[in-house]
Each structure stands twice: as structure tokens, then as C-alpha cells.
Amino acid sequence: MDDLNIRKDRAAGRITLTRPRALNALTHEMANAVRAALDAWRDDPQVRIVIIDAEGDRAFCAGGDIAAVYHGARAGDHRIGQQFFADEYRMNAAIRDYPKPVVAFMQGFVMGGGVGIGGHARLRVVGDTTQVAMPESGIGLIPDVGGTWLLARAPGRIGEYLGLTGARMGAGDAIHAGFADIYLPEAEWEAAKESLAETGDPATLPRRPAPPAPLESRDLSAFGGRNVEAILAALTAPEDSEALAALRRNSPLSMAATLAMVRAARGDQRMQDSLSREYRFTSRATQDSDFVEGVRAQIIDKDRTPRWAAAADPAKVDAMLADLGPLELKWED
């Protein structure tokens, strides 16, 4: 397909996102094609390693291409979103559990669905342009694609902070927070990929000292508050102004659910548990949350003034995260 370049290259299976003008936004078809490639290479003796990268300087993948989900919901067809999220999450899990090394090179914007395709690789390479974020609360969704799993494993209260505010991380912070593993100047990436394809050995990746991680020394104890209201009340320091602005801007329901989900994910034994919980929210999102309005304001009309209407009380959060019964996301062994 035109949006991906999937091929075998010596000892490597190569997956390159080829939508740079769309910031390599991930479509439903792309998610399915990535999983199909992984399935095809699983027992292929020629493929010893998988390399995931992307064309263009601006973005590895700036998120999921959710325009079809929005338009489907507006037409009353909520299955489009449900099927997209289900297939995308199965692809995310396939990357994390892949029996062969997967190496992702993530430049520029790595957001939402981009974290889902690169953030679960065994080795995640970042550079000086990398900007990682889970900004879903700003469009009325929650950090999905396994985002709550990653956020839950970040040190201290970094997970709550990133999930609620959608703040961006450079390379140093991404490594500190557990969203990346290796810093490598981007000028060295092509040589690194060549070595990986030639040898099939992830040990050939060079290692460079990681840049500073401002989050490592930042006091984020306020984000240990019992609920979003308590967190807002505790953000009193001058350096908290950007976080306060984000919390006042983002969807109240999304933030309340995100807080509950990140904390619940700390008890999960595998990422599929977190993905299943995320799916409970996202499968209901086009009908029962602020998601359609958030996409309208931020992506479709771009007026940046969403009119949040969904309740954000504990009962509503519980309803969004309730078991789906026969519609629960199914996992293959």
C-alpha cells in the first residue's frame, strides 16, 4: 500500500511509514498491514529482526487517523471506531509480544497511535527532534494504544502528569519515563539501520549518553491527588502554570477516566489487561463521551474551542470502564 513500505532487507523485516505529508498518521488499513507483516515474518528464518521507521523529518507518527471514526460516528455508525480501535490494539500487543527483536526509530512527533506502533518495540531509538506525548485528553479520549500501561510504569507521578496534561517529552524525558531506550543523533540512524539489516543483531546499535531529563527533578507530587479536583487545588507553584492551563482546557471526563485507568494499570500483569480496559472506554467513546466534539474542535473545524458536555463524576467513569460482556476485546494466545 502507498502508506507503508513493507519489505525484507537482508536479515531484517522493514516497515516504513510513508505518509510524511500527513505526519504519518496511522490508518486502520495501516494497522492491519503492520500486524499482517509481523505474522508473516514470525516463522520466517530469513527475518531475524524487525525495523520500524518513517519517512519525513517532522514525525514518526503523530497519531491515529481518526477522521473516518469521526465521520462514521456523525452518521450514526459507531462500529467504524470500535473495529479500528480493536484492530489497532491487537497490533500494539503483537509488537510488544513479538518473539524477534523489534527496533523503532522515532523522530519528530510521536503521539498517540505513534506511541502504539513505536513505543512497544523492544528497542526504541529517539533523537534530538523527538517529541513524545499522549495528548488524547485534549480530544475527549484517553491515552490508549497501551498508553496507560506505559504511563503506569513511569517513575513517581509522571504517568498521571503526562496522561492528564498531554505534555510533550524530548529524548531525555522519554527515556527517563520509560517511553524510549536509546538516544542516538539522527545523523547516525541510517548507518545504524544498515548494520541492523546486515547483521540482524540489536547489539550493534551504538549507545550515546542520553540528553538531560527535566522530569527527573521536577516535583510532580500534586499529581498524586485523589482526583482531578484535588490535583488542580495542589498545583500552586509558578512552574505549574502550563499544567494548570492544560487541566482547565482538556475534557473533564477524559481526565477523570485517565487518572483512574493509569492507577488501575499499575496492577496489570500484561499490557493486554490495560488495552482491554482502554477498549472499554474507546468502544463507547463515539456515543457516550466528549470524543466527537473534541475531534470536531481540534481536527475537523480546528476552532480549538471544544464544548465539553459529558459528565465527569465517578459513576460516569465507572460506566465508561464497565465490562463489555460479549463485546470485550478478545485476545489470541
C-alpha–C-alpha distance, residues 17 and 22, integer Å? 10
Q: What pLDDT sits at residue 263?
A: 98
Q: Whole-structure pTM over 0.95, yes or no? A: yes
Mean pLDDT of 184-201: 98
Tell me the longest C-alpha to C-alpha distance in the chain: 57
Q: How much is the pLDDT for 266?
A: 98
> Residue 107's pLDDT is what?
98
In 197-229, which positions are buried (b, 16+ CB within 10 angstroms) versus exposed (e)?
Answer: beebebeebeeeebbebebeebebebbebeebe
- pLDDT given for residue 84 in this prediction: 97
DSSP annotation string for 200-237: --GGGS--BPPPP-GGGG---GGGGSSSHHHHHHH--S
> 87 — alpha (psi -120 to 50), left (phi > 0) or beta?
alpha
At 1 the pLDDT is 72
Give the sign of the dihedral formed by CA 235, CA 240, CA 245, CA 250: negative
* Domain range summary for the chain, segments of one domain joined by +: 4-327
Neighbouring C-beta atoms of residue 111, cutoff 10 Å: 24
Q: Residue 272: is its pLDDT beyond 80?
A: yes
Q: What is the mean pLDDT of the chain?
A: 97
**Per the CATH hierarchy, to which homologous superfamily does domain 4-327 belong?**
2-enoyl-CoA Hydratase; Chain A, domain 1 (3.90.226.10)
- Is the pLDDT at 333 greater than 70? The verdict is no
How confident is the model at residue 132, as a pLDDT? 98
Query: pLDDT per residue over 91-129, tens digit each?
Result: 999 999 999 999 999 999 999 999 999 999 999 999 999
Q: Is the pLDDT of residue 208 over 70?
A: yes
Average pLDDT for residues 144-160, to the nearest whole number?
Answer: 98
Confidence of residue 332 (pLDDT cuts 50, 70, 90): confident
33, pLDDT greater than 90:
yes
With a cut of 90, say whether residue 329 has pLDDT above it. yes
277-308 pLDDT, tens per residue?
Answer: 999 999 999 999 999 999 999 999 999 999 99
pLDDT in the model for residue 240: 92
